[in-house]
Amino acid sequence: MEIRRTLYENIWDKLSAHKQMIFIAGPRQGGKTTFTRILAEDFRNSLYFNWDIIDDKRNLIENPSFYEEVHRRDNSVPLIIFDELHKYSNWKNYLKSVYDRDKSNYKFVVSGSGRLDMYQKGGDSLAGRYFIFYLWPFTLAELAGNNLAFEQFLADPIEVRASPNETRTIWNKLIRFSGFPDPYLDGTEEFYRIWSNTYKKQLLREDIRDLASLRNIEDVETLFSLLPSKIGSPLSMASLSRDIHVSFDSVRSWIEIFENFFLVFRIAPWTGKISRAITKEKKLYLLDYAGIDSPAAKFENMVALELFRAVSNWNDLGLGNFALHYIRNREKEEVDFLISNNHNPLLLIETKLSDDHASKSLKKFQKVLNIPAVQLVNKSDVCKIVSNNHMRIMIISADHWLSLLP
């Protein structure tokens, strides 16, 4: 998995220079375990622990300082990896005691298929004792290796730049198999279908039902099955509650659980300086997007994940307080995405399957906000700059522009 040695190792290098534990969170089967083992290769001394392995679990319960048994090759600081430890009911108290006692003697990494802050079950806080970053499924920017330096990108996100490595082939493969490592690397339709069906069942019927103590699992599955048809539009929880005949509060709670388990992510509307803007309803996207039927919705979802990954990584690195939004007013004029930093708008991004003429809504909201704008199209060899009064809009192939994201 040499791919993971680029984008995320930069985050690891920056965060691990400090004394804090490193938490690595992200979706199940997103590559976290493989990544931690890649990190271990750079340590002369390391030990891997997984709560799902019975022998490991017994070792921790019987001997909380079991990691002292790591076999050492030299006097360098050992790396101790705790995988899926959040499933242990007393995990926060345990890590607090481990860290307070041995932070100078070991480097601790904690990984898990959840946000690692949603399993609060009482006990002492870990505040100040860890840094967290999120490891996402493969994105084009990671696979292509064309990433710009963050400062270079932010200085002019619509500058015309070459794309050093092939991007269209990678993009088309992501369309078919998603960015989850197993189906992407296998590269067959049959494997993706089997993997995707099994993945959803395991998450909903095992992880989510057990850890979230859900009783109406059939209704939860019904709700999740409806979500692919909602991609690209503000999500009405009231409408969903009527469709499946459950309460509004149940739908809201289940959506939050899907988000906490990295089945979905949501983005909020942007309201600053926008007349008659929608203010409440968020848009929802899937991590496993390859099964979305609508080509336009799938394309928008793919772009959303590329942008969400970038914003997440920039925040993890301490580069700012970035967020991803969308714009929509009561006249249904809309721009798909807006990136902000410290609550200030930075960049507008619109998606179109094939239309390489600047959208009217993009032009309108660019004039209001006075920021750069990009229209991404899902076809090859498009790159042009058009005027919008005193501003400019870049219209470009999505795979070209997205591959350059830091």
Same domain, yes or no, for 166 and 314? yes
The better pLDDT of the pair 209, 70 is held by 70
Helix crossing, 32-40 with 7-15: angle to 10°? 60
Give the whole-number percent of the chain exceeding pLDDT 70. Answer: 95
Same domain, yes or no, for 164 and 303? yes
Q: What is the CATH number of the domain that holds 18?
A: 3.40.50.300
User: Tokens 């296998």 appear where?
Assistant: 186
Same domain, yes or no, for 307 and 342? yes
Sign of dihedral through CA atoms 251, 254, 258, 260? Answer: positive
Distance from C-alpha of 171 to C-alpha of 175, rounded to nearest angstrom: 6
Same domain, yes or no, for 126 and 232? no
What pTM, to 2 d.p., does this model score? 0.93
The most distant pair of C-alpha atoms in the chain lies apart, rounded to whole Å, by 71
Least confident of 76-80, 128-132, 369-373: 128-132
Q: What is the per-residue pLDDT for 115?
A: 64
Q: What is the per-residue pLDDT for 139?
A: 95
Distance from C-alpha of 139 to C-alpha of 308, rounded to nearest angstrom: 10
- Region 157-181 average pLDDT: 95
- Region 270-293 average pLDDT: 92
Distance from C-alpha of 45 to C-alpha of 201, rounded to nearest angstrom: 38
DSSP-derived secondary structure for 172-231: HHHHHH-S-HHHHHH--HHHHHHHHHHHHHHIIIIIIHHHHT-S-HHHHHHHHHHGGGGT
Given 65, 100, 134, the domain boundary residue is 134
Distance from C-alpha of 9 to C-alpha of 294, rounded to nearest angstrom: 35
Given 79, 104, 134, the domain boundary residue is 134
The better pLDDT of the pair 244, 119 is held by 244
Q: What is the per-residue pLDDT for 120?
A: 44
* pLDDT > 70? residue 213: no
Same domain, yes or no, for 316 and 375? yes
Same domain, yes or no, for 103 and 152? no
- Region 223-243 average pLDDT: 94
DSSP-derived secondary structure for 79-133: EEEEESGGGSTTHHHHHHHHHHHHTTT-EEEEEESS-SSS---SS---TTSEEEE
* pLDDT > 60? residue 122: no
- Region 153-180 average pLDDT: 95
Give the whole-number percent of the chain exceeding pLDDT 90. Answer: 78
* pLDDT > 90? residue 388: yes
Domain count, the chain: 2
The overall average pLDDT reported for the chain is 92
Distant-in-sequence, close-in-space partners of 282: CB < 8 Å, separation ≥ 6: 234, 235, 266, 267, 268, 269
Tabulate helix, strand, coil % of the chain (nearest 5).
Answer: 45, 20, 35
Same domain, yes or no, for 300 and 321? yes
Q: What is the per-residue pLDDT for 8?
A: 80
The better pLDDT of the pair 275, 157 is held by 157
Distance from C-alpha of 239 to C-alpha of 248, rounded to nearest angstrom: 9
Same domain, yes or no, for 152 and 126? no
Same domain, yes or no, for 202 and 349? yes
Q: What is the per-residue pLDDT for 404?
A: 96
Same domain, yes or no, for 78 and 161? no
Given 96, 111, 134, the domain boundary residue is 134
Where in the sequence is the domain holding 151, given as residue range(s)?
A: 140-402
Distance from C-alpha of 210 to C-alpha of 225, rounded to nearest angstrom: 20
Same domain, yes or no, for 37 and 66? yes
- Region 218-241 average pLDDT: 94
- Quickly state the pLDDT bin for 86 (edges 50, 70, 90): confident
Distances (CA, A) of 275 to 116, 267, 325, 353: 38, 19, 16, 28
Q: Tell me the per-residue pLDDT of 20-62, one tens digit each, with 9 for 90 and over.
A: 999 999 999 999 998 998 899 989 999 999 999 999 999 999 9
Distance from C-alpha of 55 to C-alpha of 373, rounded to nearest angstrom: 54
Residue 191, classified by CB atoms within 10 Å of its CB into exposed (0-12), middle (13-18) or buried (19+), is: middle
Distance from C-alpha of 101 to C-alpha of 94, rounded to nearest angstrom: 11
Q: Tell me which residue of 381, 375, 360, 355 sits closest to 158, measured CA to CA.
A: 375
Same domain, yes or no, for 265 and 381? yes
Distance from C-alpha of 309 to C-alpha of 267, rounded to nearest angstrom: 13
Distance from C-alpha of 55 to C-alpha of 193, rounded to nearest angstrom: 33
Distances (CA, A) of 229 to 11, 226, 232, 295: 35, 6, 9, 11
Distances (CA, A) of 7 to 183, 317, 406: 20, 12, 8
- Region 189-201 average pLDDT: 96
Distances (CA, A) of 342 to 79, 270, 315: 35, 13, 11
Distant-in-sequence, close-in-space partners of 364: CB < 8 Å, separation ≥ 6: 333
Residue 63, classified by CB atoms within 10 Å of its CB into exposed (0-12), middle (13-18) or buried (19+), is: exposed
Distance from C-alpha of 182 to C-alpha of 3, rounded to nearest angstrom: 13
